[in-house]
Amino acid sequence: MSGADPEGAADGACEPFAAEPVAFLESLRGKIAARQGDSGSLAVLIVDCGLIARIDAVWGYHVGDAVRSRVSSLLCAEVLRSGDFVGSMGRDDFACVLSTVDDPAVAVLAARKTLRVLNAPFWIGEEEIFARPAIGIAIYPDHGDQAEVLLQRAKSACALARTLPGQVADYAEDRNNSAESDLLQENRLRTAVSENALELVFQPQYDLRLGQVMGAEAFLHWHSPASGLIPAEQAFAAADSADMVTDLVSSILNRALRNVSEFRYSAGLDLRIGVRLPASVLRHSELLDVVQRSLGTWSRRPGTLILGISETTVLHTDPVARETLGRLRELGVKLSIDDHKMTIASLFQLAAMPFQEIKLDVSAVGDLAVTPKSDRILQSIIELAHHLRLAVVAVGVTDDVAAARLKELRCDYMQADFKGPALDPVQFVERFGFTEG
């Protein structure tokens, strides 16, 4: 597709479908050399049609081959022009080369036209099948001057396009290209887990009735050499992509239970330990075995482990997750609702599940002494939780005055930076061991 009318009809057939990647690369190198000679630009579009592999699995490879030929014919007839060509980069991937482009916008228009062409149904017998195309764009010379580099960057942009509403993306060096970033993060996490290099920090939890430390929450503290401190949510997302969620959970639980056992024997602190997990991990049926093995390894009673469950909307729709939750409760593990995005409607559904505790972020309440309505709302929430047989852990408490009022309102526990920030195991023992009262 070259010239000024990228949305018009093709003005001649594009070059024949290059089935062999080696032949395609040679053709692309030839076009790059031509553009070097005339100081022009070209574009590479990676089109992931999201269809062929599924057809292979359902109807067989011979049907998949027929559809691939149909896709390449459509690209040649409806999108590309004389001098352009298309090649195969994989079962579902097609690489289109726009041999000359006067402006990068031409490549975007070609991509949008490709989406329209491939969004028409493919008929297999009497079945109507739809593709799910996504398209990544790389421009010569802006995004690279080598054939392999342009293909890699178009593929990277295609992976990003799959996550965007418009399903089209161009390569941008200053943008976090998701495929590369995700792959590197998954590999770094795999290495950290295998080398037992994940670290935890611990924040004390106070019993408001007794005024003493009764537990601690363990927070994942993973430092990536390239990205610095990685939020736990990103770590679990990377683990999910790498199919190593239970490996990550096992690493966290074993580290947490080991440390809390050391607190007991080295500092006289017999504490319960909380670990926050996204509800999506409950979809893994082997989670129960991971928890049992971890408790057995460190000789901990199940009731001293509190699993805080975040992102609880999963539980409303996933029966496997709910079943795993119930089995954890049968094991004796305590379960806490730890979801700051939870709505009142969600609480009605969660009340029927085997939770024993709820985390309540009071940071938004403000000064209870000067906001009596907030005070009454907070009192009502605590009373509601108690009616549901849920202990209440207040987080985000700002000072001793707020802590005293929470005690008056019969809040059970408190976790607050002003009483103790999250510390590494050595610092935790130094601050809270023996003399804490």
Identify the pLDDT of residue 11.
Answer: 47
Fold of the 15-175 domain = Alpha-Beta Plaits (3.30.70)
Q: Is residue 148 within 8 Å of residue 175, measured between CB atoms? A: no
Written as six digits, the tokens of 192 are 């950290």
Q: State yes or no: pLDDT of 203 exceeds 90.
A: yes
User: What long-range pairs does 18-24 form, CB within 8 A, spacing at least 24?
Assistant: 18/85, 18/86, 18/87, 18/88, 19/87, 19/88, 21/87, 21/88, 21/89, 23/87, 24/85, 24/87, 24/88, 24/89, 24/95
DSSP structure class, residue 423: B
pLDDT band at residue 3 under the 50/70/90 scheme: very low
Q: Mean of the pLDDT values across residues 207-231?
A: 86
| pLDDT tens-digit map of 248-274 | 999 999 999 999 999 988 888 889 999
Strands 391-395 and 357-361: parallel
Within 10 angstroms of residue 221's Cβ, the number of other Cβ atoms is 15
- Provide the residue ranges of all domains of the chain, joining segments of one domain with +: 15-175, 182-432
72-101 pLDDT, tens digit per residue, is: 888 988 899 888 999 888 888 899 999 999
pLDDT tens digits for 121-168?
787 877 777 778 899 999 999 999 999 999 999 998 998 888 788 889
CA distance 134 to 49: 6
Model confidence over 345-375: pLDDT tens digits? 677 778 889 999 999 988 877 676 667 788 8
Tally the residues of the chain: 437
CATH of domain 182-432: 3.20.20.450
Residue 14 vs residue 209, higher pLDDT? 209
Is residue 327 a contact partner of residue 276, using CB atoms and an 8 Å limit? Answer: no
In degrees and rounded to multiples of 5, residue 427 shows phi and psi of -65, -35
Which pLDDT score is estimated for 420? 83
pLDDT of residue 180: 57
Q: For residue 61, what pLDDT is reported?
A: 86
Query: Could you tell me the strand order of the sheet in which 168-170 lies?
Result: 15-18, 85-88, 93-98, 42-48, 134-140, 168-170
